Structure 1
Amino acid sequence: MQLSQIGSKNLARLACVLAGGVWGIVWIPLRALDIAGIPGAWATSLLHLIPALILLPLVLLRFTKIRAAGIPLQAIGSSLGISMMLYSTAFLYTDVLHALLLYFLIPIWGALLAKVWLKEPISKNRIIGIVLGLSGMLVILNIDQGFPVPRNIGDWMALAAGMIWAVAANLLRRYPHYQALDITTTWFYWCSGFSVIVAYITHPHVGPETVDAVFNVLIWVLPIALLVLTPIYFMAAWGTPKLNPGTSGILFMTEISVCTISATLLTNEPFGLREILGVGLITAAGLTEVVVPIIAAIILNSRKQPSRKH
């Protein structure tokens, strides 16, 4: 592998790490919206509808290209959208521990599906990364009674969200030629549609007070939706196709680390030895997919170079 290819993959890894990390603080505006009177799936809908509406002129300008992309692009956007909707809504029906655990089986589903469908091997580094990442997650979430199995609708939603994300990651890998911009806009529209449907089902009675609450929060929701959510969706849409779905799933687990740290700083959540160990294991998982390939490529490249004559 050429060093230029390594550099491109490293940028993709960095994009996934950053996207996962920023996702780890999205709970803050979602909780603020709930406190402001915009409950559950309506909060998710609002965060996605704002970019979807603002990006509408861009969609119209690129409509010919988006239409020419056909069903595969819509399959990518819809799978990303329904995965994000299910994941966000799962927290309404189950506890955070079960939602995170069942959703972040993504590296396993992604690697297995890529092996079967895309014929991509599951390398030793990837296996080590998956084991380290899942171990770190289990340590942080303090699993002392064994791994949980789905027991309610929220658990099944989280599990389904992770599986569908793995499908989306494989679709992105299978069709890497699509523009990240088109993927991002399609993602927002599908997620907005799914979120509004779920919001109507879970909270069908929207009164004037909810509408007033929306207008009251726009002053800070607008910049968050445009300057935080939109860039991380773009980074995920750009970086994921360049990586094995198992690898990208491992890197997205930075969400758990950042969520743990941010919750500690902003709430009364504890942050002790267990949390430090868990964050360290997840960080090590990411490094196995970043540092080890770089070192291996450098060593291989140095061996191929002819020795200089003195």
Structure 2
Amino acid sequence: MPSIPLQRTLAIGSLVYAATLWGLMWYPYRLLNDAGVGGIASSFITYVVPLLVFGWLHGRELRNARSRWMWLAALGLAAGWTNLAYVLAMLQGEVVRVLLLFFLSPLWTVLFARFLLHEKLNRAGWAVMALAAGGALVMLWQPGEWPLPASRAEWLALSAGVAFAMSNVISRHLDGVTEGAKAVTVWAGVVVLTLIGLALKPAELDFMADAGMQTWLLLLGVGLAIGSMTYAVQYGLARVPANQAIVIFLSELVVAAVASYFLSDERMGVQEWIGAAMIITASLFSGHMEDDQLKEARHV
């Protein structure tokens, strides 16, 4: 068994790996969209792939966790919406703005941890909320208008961040459930939600009549990459405090910003950069919240 320092290094490396791939994943989804594969259909297929390829390996783990099925179902729905809304937002909006709204998640993590895990809001928590909310207001502010998301993509990104925070808190609550069982739950959650979406928009499956081998190979490759990312995230979250994981996930912003610079014509203005700095600072503050809470717990 690896030593504790090595386990921690592997856990942090796993989260960086996942964040890097997610910072690039918007591009193949846009390629698929250009090939006629809509966001709901591509999400369905790319999450069915790891569910079918790897899901059967964790049947016993899921059975062992059946006493906590309600929380597993909540994790599936929260993580399912996180991933589906994220993909749809990336297809419809600007990459970096979508990510900035998504990374308001420390604010929601503070709230959910307070009500679901009964964690007290310390000074760092208030700083996280104020900075994250202030960054959003700066980024979204327009003269004469309410500082709210201005498009469907931005609302999707905001809701994905809320669901991401919820899934992280639920994952922390499911301590003792294996990473494999949680990974299958995440894949199944996306598949269930996308099946509902396809029932409402069956035309998204029309691409199957004309799809070439290149499209199917891209779908398969994205699905396998998502499978590896889900394992990496669950492995990392089981060994790294959730608030510290949020900080590590910020590397996704850097990767996505660089990728969007070279792969698209998207650029941010000064106002967006100021809001981004505030949101990133909020996430950095959130990395110290877990330590504060552990210190409080030791003195109880």
Cα distance per residue 1:251-310 (max 9 Å; x no partner): 32322221111112333445999999999888877776779999xxxxxxxxxxxxxxxx
Distance 1:17 1:155, change over 3 A: same
Q: How does 1:239-250 map to 2 (within 5 A)?
A: 239-250=236-247
Shift of the 204–257 alpha-carbon distance from structure 1 to 2, 3 Å rule, reads same
What residue in structure 1 maps to residue 254 of structure 2?
257
**Number of the residue aligned with 2:186:** 187
2:141 touches 2:148 (CA, 8 Å); kept in 1? no
Contact persistence 2:106–2:286 (CA under 8 A): no
Structure 1 residues 111 and 63, CA, compared in 2 at 3 Å: closer, same or farther?
Answer: closer
Instruction: Calculate the TM-score normalised by the size of structure 2.
Output: 0.74
8 A contact 2:108–2:162 mirrored in 1: yes
Counterpart residue number, 2:22: 23
Instruction: Give the aligned partner of residue 165 of structure 2.
Output: 166
Tell me whether 272-281 or 107-116 shows the greater mean CA deviation: 272-281
Give the equivalent residue in structure 2 for 1:108. 107
Q: CA RMSD in A?
A: 4.1
Query: What is the percent sequence identity of the aligned residues?
Result: 24
What is residue 217 of structure 2 aligned with on the other side? 219
Q: Residue 237 of structure 1 corresponds to which residue in structure 2? A: 234
1:201 alignment partner in structure 2: 200
| Count of aligned positions | 288
Moved more, 174-183 or 48-57: 48-57
Contact 2:198-2:204 within 8 A present in 1 as well: no
Contact 2:76 2:189 in 1 (8 A): yes
Structure 2: which amino acid aligns with 1:79? A
Report Cα offsets for 1:202-236 as digits up to 9, x if no partner: 453633x434316442334323321x211211122
Q: For structure 2, list consecutive stretches of 5 or more residues without a partner in the other structure.
A: 292-300
Name the CA shift for 1:145/1:261 in 2 (closer, same or farther; >3 Å). Answer: same
Q: Which moved more, 1:265-274 or 1:39-48?
A: 265-274
TM-score (norm 1): 0.72
Counterpart-to-counterpart distance in 1, 2:149 and 2:269: 28
Contact 1:45/1:195 (8 A) holds in 2: yes
Contact 1:15/1:236 (8 A) holds in 2? yes
Most deviating of 252-261 and 10-19: 10-19
How far, CA to CA, are the matches of 1:171 and 1:12 in structure 2? 19
Question: Counterparts of 2:235 and 2:252 in 1: how far apart (Å)?
Answer: 18
Contact in 2 for aligned 1:12/1:238 (Cα 8 Å) = yes
Q: Given the alignment, which residue of 246, 250, 264 partners 1:267?
A: 264
How far the C-alpha of 1:47 sits from its partner, in A, is 1.4
Q: Distance in 1 between matches of 2:288 and 2:52?
A: 40
Measured after TM superposition, the shift of residue 28 of structure 1 is 1.4
Q: Which runs of 5+ in 1 are unaligned?
A: 295-310
